[in-house]
Amino acid sequence: MADSLPSIDHLVKTSAKRAHSLFAAEQAFVVTDDAQSRSTKIRLASKIDAEYRNAKVLPAALLAQQKGGAGPARPGPAPAAPGMKMIAGPMAQTVEQLSSQALTTTGSAPAPVSHAQPTLLSQSLIRRREARQVKPDYHANWKLTRVISGHLGWVRAVAVEPGNKWFATGAGDRVIKIWDLASGELKLSLTGHISTVRGLAVSSRHPYLFSCGEDKMVKCWDLETNKVIRHYHGHLSGVYSLALHPTLDVLVTAGRDASARVWDMRTKSQVHILTGHTATISDVQCQESDPQVITGSMDSTVRLWDLAAGKTMTTLTHHHKSVRSIAIHPTEYSFASASAGGNNIKKWACPNGTFVHNFSGHDAIINSVSVNHDGVFFSGGDNGSMTWWDYKTGLPFQTEQDKPQPGSLDAESGIFCSTFDQTGTRLIVGNADKTIKVYSEQS
């Protein structure tokens, strides 16, 4: 009875042969003597076929793009599956052959319906050309070169005269001081405000200095006689900022009454009241072309104004917290605004206020920002942190921490105001420790 049964070896070979003929079309067997190696190759070929079967037929949109010459060139007549580049060693060539055979075997299958015509999905699969990365310009580091003392309160405003020989500062001691820019010596003290001086501006076409303060006053000082010659009455509360129009005899002031007021410089008459903000306007800037007036408010918005009509052109609502400062680039026709929190400094393109990019990384309440002709952008925080940025790309190249003067509290390291001189090589910063610090660009 035992002699009539076939041998085990014969049964095993027959079973293997039948299995081979059954799955050969899908699994692309390779005849080899090593059973373990053959099992590994079969498993790999099956996996390649399952994962990359649909990649054999390209979407119509991608196929049209490759025929048109766009995008990367095909590597060769029999491209390997995307995962094959990760395989190295003696099995690499065999595995490539396996994948090629597996894809060829299943190539006769009809293409998926989604690839029959261009769809939104197939369009999104097209490889986009890599965006050209803008490289930042080189900027030298900045170093503290002078500390000027003299004020008895927080230094809240600073302005450099067009001739670049002196600069003015206003502080919580209600005094405006004129300093020699080269030596740092005090030249003059102007008294007249009865509360903190919050804004200063020097006219480039008249011998006038304009000041505003928390006493609701806006004053015009004649620098030839060092006396007040005009007052601009109308604000209902403290005036926090002012700006002079570069070409018109127009003065714009803004403050805690949530309005910006446009004044005729000579007649003292009020031309416009720019209303729309719902909270204190902390900064106002003017430029020659539209928008000629830009305001930043504690209601976390920035408004671009039509000066001729006295109405809002655009309202920018990207900021999440109160906007404290605005800086207009001297030549680029763009501006930046700063507030508190993350991504708190933003660059905008004029005239429509198109968002360009964030200056990310200065996580503080930003009280002051300034920019010079060379694209050096400065931001100063309430905690004394300072960052210098490349204005074009928004990348920081230097960070510093302000050190309060001896006798001051550590909490008095805040920065309230800043401006570059006319050459852009010196930065003047007003601090909470009652000092004025001058930073110079290192050659």
Which among 377, 440, 61, 416 has a CA at the least distance from the CA of 241? 416
Q: Which one, of 385, 378, 376, 390, lies nearest residue 418 by Cα?
A: 378
Asked if residue 137 is part of any domain, the answer here is: no
Is it the case that residue 85 has pLDDT exceeding 50? no
Cβ atoms of 420 and 402 closer than 8 Å: no
Residues in CB range of 171: below 8 A, 6 or more apart = 151, 152, 153, 154, 155, 156, 157, 177, 196, 197, 430, 434
> 80 with 180, same domain?
no
Residue 287 lies in a domain: yes
Q: What is the pLDDT of residue 407?
A: 83
Which residues 6+ apart lie within 8 Å of 295 measured at CB? 254, 260, 274, 277, 281, 283, 284, 285, 302, 303, 305, 326
Residue with tokens 């090589």: 425
Q: How many domains, the chain?
A: 2
Say yes or no: 179 and 70 in one domain.
Answer: no
Clarify whether residues 257 and 320 are in a common domain: yes
Among 57-71, 88-102, 275-289, whose mean pLDDT is lowest? 88-102
Instruction: Judge whether 195 lies within some domain.
Output: yes
| Domain co-membership, 214 together with 337 | yes
Higher pLDDT, 3 or 353: 353
> The domain that contains 227 carries what CATH number?
2.130.10.10
Residue 351: asked if its preceding bond is cis (omega within 30°), the reply is: yes
Same domain, yes or no: 220 and 120: no
CA-angle at 420, arms to 415 and 423, nearest 5°: 160
Same domain, 263 and 383: yes
Residues 193 and 223 in one domain: yes
Say how far residue 206 (Cα) sits from the centre of its chain: 37
Neighbours of 182 (CB within 10 A): 10
For residue 23, the model assigns a pLDDT of 75
Q: Report how far apart the first and last C-alpha atoms of the chain are (Å, whole number).
A: 105
Q: Is residue 80 located within the same domain as residue 164? A: no
Do 70 and 175 sit in the same domain of this protein? no
Give Dmax over CA atoms of the chain in angstroms: 134
Which tens digit of pLDDT belongs to each residue from 371-418?
A: 999 999 999 999 999 999 999 999 999 999 999 888 888 878 999 999
Pairwise pLDDT comparison (98 vs 216), residue with the higher score:
216
Alpha-carbon distances of 370 from 131, 179, 245, 414, 436, rounded to whole Å: 29, 20, 18, 16, 16
Regarding whether 89 and 56 lie in a shared domain, the answer is yes
What is the average pLDDT across 293-304?
96
> Does 382 share its domain with 270?
yes
As a whole number, mean pLDDT of residues 335-350 equals 92
pLDDT tens digits, one per residue of 219-268:
999 999 999 999 999 999 999 999 999 999 999 999 999 999 999 999 99
Q: What is the pLDDT of residues 424-443, one digit of tens each?
A: 999 999 999 999 999 999 97
In this structure, is residue 132 part of a structural domain?
Answer: no
Q: Domain range spanning residue 318?
A: 142-441
**Sign of CA pseudo-dihedral 348, 353, 356, 361:** positive
Contacts of 76 (CB under 8 A, 6+ apart): none
Domain presence at residue 131: no
Residue 134 belongs to a domain: no
Asked if residue 135 is part of any domain, the answer here is no
**148 lies in the same domain as 271:** yes
Which of 98, 124, 150 is the C-terminal boundary of a domain?
124
Note whether residue 63 is domain-resident. Answer: yes
State pLDDT tens for residues 145-194: 999 999 999 999 999 999 999 999 999 999 999 999 999 999 999 999 99
Task: Give the separation between CA 140 and CA 376, rounded to whole angstroms.
Answer: 9
The DSSP element (H or E) to which 118 belongs, if any, is none
Per-residue pLDDT of 112-158, as tens digits, reads: 544 455 566 555 555 555 555 778 899 999 999 999 999 999 999 99
Give me the pLDDT at residue 3, please. 58
Predicted local distance difference test score (pLDDT) of residue 80: 47
Q: Model pTM greater than 0.85?
A: no
Region 289-307 average pLDDT: 95
